[in-house]
Structure 1
Amino acid sequence: MRLEGKTILITAAGQGIGRASVLACVAQGARVIATDINMDALENLKRESDFIETRFLDVTDVEAVNALAAELPRLDGLFNCAGFVHHGTILELSDEDWAFSVNLNVTSMIRMCRAFLPGMLQRAQETGSVSVLNMASMASSIKGFTARTAYGTTKAAVIGLTKAIAADYVKQGLRCNALCPGTVDTPSLRGRIADAADPVQAEKDFIARQPMGRLAKVTDIAPMVTYLLSDDSQFVTGQAMLVDGGVTI
């Protein structure tokens, strides 16, 4: 099992890609610390395995992030999965929406990395390799999409942050990569579809932009997560890894 003996923390673990990633990491032998602000979702997740430890964590709360980092053992892997999709053009983007998107999509990752990297670097001295994975998107510096100004901009920043961390710590055994999914069938996406003026057409539009003719499943994304958190990817760092169903061919 590619993650045997490793301790991994995953944010936004209660549903969607985060939840699927927790289960995939456990299946590969990891002890997983699953965090979220939705305790009901975490309780349901915890029932899946004795190797899942759940914690309430608001990743925008710097004091809570620092307190958790001080409490937990040194990590082998950190997956910053929490994020928010703002729908709208730049003319539909309020200062409040922009500030929220930056805080959750970018600043929270900076705070998580700042809190957990010291312990991870110590762990790297023992094992030779630790891994940080940041959730980005194909909607970023990779490709522009309509009505995704805040989301695309912040996810582009995540790729820049990822490359900076990778460059700073490559010689110390710490790798950092960004995960860039296509359109994934998650509760978050289903919520955006339901909020559309024409939900049926909205779903058709999301599917139409995927050349493979379907939405990604969370189980399409999770194998890349386990790969990038494992020693199988120990020669991979600073990369924006696409799992997009061919959108960016």
Structure 2
Amino acid sequence: MSSFSTLVAVVTGGGSGIGAAVAAEFRARGARVGVLDLDPGEPADGLLPVIADVTHRGSLQSAMTTVADTFGGIDILVNSAGIGAIGPVEGNDDDEWHRVLDVNVVGIARATSAALPFLRRSEHGAIVNLSSIAATAGLVQRALYSASKGAVHSLTLAMAADLVSEGIRVNCLAPGTVDTPWVQRLLARTDDPEGERTRLAARQPTGRLVSAAEVAAAAAYLASPEAGATTGMSLAVDGGMSGLRLPRK
């Protein structure tokens, strides 16, 4: 894949987990990266941490302007910021439903709206949204989370349709269960963390969790100018979970 040395990327939720892996991957390929997060980490060569909150439009507008002013524009937006939720449809109250949808769905709309004035000036404008296998596969105890990621999938298609004539590509990634600090904290709250980890790994045909680095590499593909004919697509990075039906052992 070609160098990202002429490109500027913004990664929301880039301070940890998948977002941090995406920021590291893009930087390794030569991009200058703005990391937007409540705790965006420390600055480094080609890496600009900016405190931003995806639930506040003004915060995102200010952060995007800071990145664009520092690096001379924005070519790529990766909407990675998100939170999880556990439980059946009745398992979360109204406040939690509003909170998760506000971060996972409206947060993407806010960040994209803030970045669009800069993306429209780019010759290689690209947006990558973080969806999930939960958008299209019924998973137990994930009603609210699945609803939010299903909305991300639909939002991606609508954004792609709206922006294709402006030369801005919009795609999403649909990871399986990714080995991140959030998943580790989730496992720690169970009665049998090791057993639950084994069950989560076995749910994927590869027999293991997806790594954040694998998701980051897929994000780099979708964001690359070499994927110029790819828009309005969801790329599964799920160990075969969405497409394979293996016989029970």
Alpha-carbon separation, structure 2, partners of 1:8 and 1:152: 27
Corresponding residue for residue 80 of structure 2: 81
> How far apart in 1 are the matches of 2:160 and 2:97?
27
Q: Please report how far the alpha carbon of residue 65 of structure 1 lies from its aligned counterpart in structure 2 after TM superposition.
A: 1.0
Q: Match for 2:96: what amino acid?
A: D
1:216 maps to amino acid = V
Partners of 2:20 and 2:117 in 1: CA distance: 26
Please state if 1:230 is matched with 2:224. Answer: yes
* Residue aligning to 2:33: 32
**TM-score normalized with structure 2 length:** 0.92
Question: What is the root-mean-square deviation of aligned Cα atoms in Å?
Answer: 1.2
Q: How far 1:201 sits from its partner (Å)?
A: 2.0
* Mapping 1:55-204, distance limit 5 Å: 55-73=50-68, 74-123=73-122, 127=123, 129-140=124-135, 142-204=136-198
In the alignment, the residues of structure 2 paired with residue 232 and residue 88 of structure 1 have an alpha-carbon distance, to the nearest angstrom, of: 40
**CA displacement, residues 155-176 of structure 1 (integer Å, 9 cap, x when unaligned):** 0100111111100111111000
Partner Cα separation in structure 2 for residue 112 and residue 224 of structure 1: 21
Between the aligned partners of 2:189 and 2:20, the Cα distance in structure 1 is 23
Q: In 1, are the aligned partners of 2:36 and 2:63 still within 8 Å (CA)?
A: no
TM-score, normalised by the number of residues in structure 1: 0.92
Give SS of 1:184's match.
Answer: coil
* Identity within the alignment, %: 33
Distance 1:103 1:187 in 2: 22
Amino acid at match of 2:12: T
Partner residue in 1 for 2:234: 240
The structure that is helix-richer by fraction is: 1
DSSP-derived class of the 2:98 partner: helix
Tell me which of 209, 218, 243 is aligned to 2:212. Answer: 218
2 CA distance for matches of 1:248 and 1:241?
11
Shift of 1:27: 1.1
The CA deviation at 1:118 is: 2.0
8 A contact 2:17–2:180 mirrored in 1: yes
The one-letter amino acid of 1:139's match is A
| Aligned mates of 1:220, 1:64 — CA distance in 2 | 30
Decide whether the 8 Å contact of 1:2 with 1:232 is kept in 2: no
How many equivalent pairs are there? 238
Q: Distance in 1 between matches of 2:12 and 2:163?
A: 22
SS in 2 for 1:178: strand
User: Mind listing any 5+ residue stretches in structure 2 that lack a counterpart?
Assistant: 244-249
